[in-house]
Amino acid sequence: MKVSTKPILLALFGSFLLHQSNAQLKIPGTGNPDVRNALEKVIGDYPKQFSALRGEIVNTNPQTVEYESLLPFKSAESNIIIQYSGKDPVYSWQAHMFTSEEFEEAAKKYKSLFGQLKGMNLKLNRDYDYSLSGEFDKPSESKKFSSSVFRLLPNASYLPKVKVELSMQYEFP
């Protein structure tokens, strides 16, 4: 069984999608500095369709275009930007954080990542401090997918649709 945790920032119902997360012990409110810095840069570039983070095209499909991400993010195995086709383009920034073939190991990492994100303080565009608030979706071997959704507190009026989603998915061999 191949198990994958995939932390994700997600702007639901908006014109962009964001994806992201990390791994290490959490100091309450601060989290991993690498993850916090990446989230601040990604969310800060969200209103500009990730124009400062989008590199060269690496793959094209009928419904998507994948771009190299210019964001240095040491905690992630990889990170990319995806443009989804449609009337208005939708962009997604994704970071794949961890892969394991053991469910328990992946569930432990997922819980650790959740702990790092919950209450994490973010300073966006040198403007105001926000924190992440969300509920833990406990993973189970009977589910293929677990997802914990966070929101910015207090609500960012210029980013009303930004959500942060931490997910764990696994695939059977």
Confidence of residue 31 (pLDDT cuts 50, 70, 90): low
Report the percent of the chain where pLDDT is more than 70. Answer: 80
Residue 3 and residue 147 in contact, taking contact as beta carbons nearer than 8 Å: no
- The answer to pTM > 0.95 is no
Domain enclosing residue 142, as ranges: 2-171
> How far from 99 is each of 67, 107, 118, 141, CA to CA, in Å?
22, 11, 22, 16
Q: At residue 9, does pLDDT exceed 50?
A: no
Tell me the sheet residues that pair with 6.
Answer: 167
- Please report which helix (H) or strand (E) contains residue 6, including its range: strand 2-11
Count up the domains in the chain and report the number.
1
Output the CA–CA distances (angstroms, integers) from residue 69 to 54, 121, 138, 146, in the order listed.
Answer: 5, 24, 30, 26
State the pLDDT at residue 172: 61
pLDDT at 102: 87
Nearest to 68 by CA among 77, 78, 97: 78
- Asked if pLDDT for residue 84 goes beyond 50, the answer is yes
Report the distance separating Cα 33 and Cα 87, nearest Å: 37
DSSP, collapsed to helix, strand or coil, labels residue 112 as: helix
- CA proximity to 9, closest of 38, 29, 33: 38
Q: What is the pLDDT of residue 86?
A: 87
More confident residue, 116 or 30: 116
Above 80 in pLDDT, residue 151?
yes
How confident is the model at residue 59, as a pLDDT? 97
The distance in angstroms from the start CA to the end CA of the chain is 5
Top pLDDT among 21 and 48 is at: 48
